[in-house]
Structure 1
Amino acid sequence: MPIVRTLAFASLFSLAANASASSFIVTTDTLVDALAGTIDTMSNATSSVVDNKVVLAAKDDAASFVATDGAVRGAYLETALQHIRARMPAVQADDARLAQAILAN
């Protein structure tokens, strides 16, 4: 009789472990897919602004701004910052972070 109980316990434990593992996989897949969709949406929105000609033209000014800790502010950079803030009013980054973002792309 103990062998039957042991086998029954082992088979039930195996079924429970498989059910837990597959529900964990489904949950993580759902979360990862949702996060990936959010990241894609945000990157598409920001890349459309960053790939803009006004912003691309400001790369040299952005480099000067970052290198001088904000002492040198070129006209192209000023125009690009205004453009970014007009197109993405929800962005609350300061000029230094926006200049770094311009350089990064």
Structure 2
Amino acid sequence: MTVHVQLPDRLDYQSVVPLLADIGAVDDDDLVLDAAQVRHMGTLPLQAILSTVKTRAGSGKKTRLANASDSCVDMLSLFGFSPETLTQPETWT
């Protein structure tokens, strides 16, 4: 089964705990992070997402980013990621 999690419009240090609660609770094989509303993404939430992606990949579970807003794509590119590479730990090196 696929679980969809809607990311908030502002991913900053205050959103890390709720973000980890939302995505950490998903034990299904497929997780879709819907980034349609994301307008700001800070380093700490990005690290939380990366950690979740890597942990899930190690367990054979898939995570993907869907519907990334233009702002989200722009911010990811500043960190050296794209919506596709963000959820592919094998491309991080």
- Per the normalisation by structure 2, the TM-score is 0.26
Structure having the larger proportion of residues in helix: 1
Structure having the larger proportion of residues in strand: 2
Q: Which has the higher contact order (CA 8 A, sep 6+)?
A: 2
| Structure (1 or 2) with the larger CA radius of gyration | 1
- Per the normalisation by structure 1, the TM-score is 0.25
